[in-house]
Amino acid sequence: MTVPFNLLLSASASAITLDSGHPIHLATDTSSLSGKLQMDPKNPRIAINIHWKGAASPSEHRFAKITLEIPEQETFVHVFDAEGDIDDFIELPTPTSGK
């Protein structure tokens, strides 16, 4: 299934990878990125890896907010948050039967 996404970053990144089973490397020249992910409808998940250009200050958290427009479902929003680089994943809800 093809899922449109938008990714908003709190700071400039030096490397961004989204992996839904088909890894994509995103441009790092903007803080708002969009595109389409190919996802397995039986196992919808996304791994995210972001390396920031500069170090965060001691009390600063960095975040990446992803918005997904999954077909026949409500818009899905998730915020990844870390003191440093982000290396995390989410498993997405699967559609209920009858949809």
List, for residues 78-99, the tens digit of each pLDDT value: 999 998 899 999 998 776 544 4
**Residues of the chain scoring pLDDT < 70:** 31, 95-99
Q: Do the Cβ atoms of 58 and 16 come closer than 8 Å?
A: no
Which pTM was predicted? 0.86
> 32-38 and 2-9 as β-strands: parallel, antiparallel, unpaired?
antiparallel
The DSSP secondary-structure symbol of 58 reads T
Q: What is the reported pLDDT for 31?
A: 65
**What are the percentages of helix, strand and coil residues in the chain, rounded to 5?**
0, 55, 45
Q: What is the reported pLDDT for 95?
A: 63
- Residues 66 and 32: their CA atoms lie apart, in Å, by 10
Q: What is the reported pLDDT for 54?
A: 83
Q: What is the reported pLDDT for 98?
A: 42
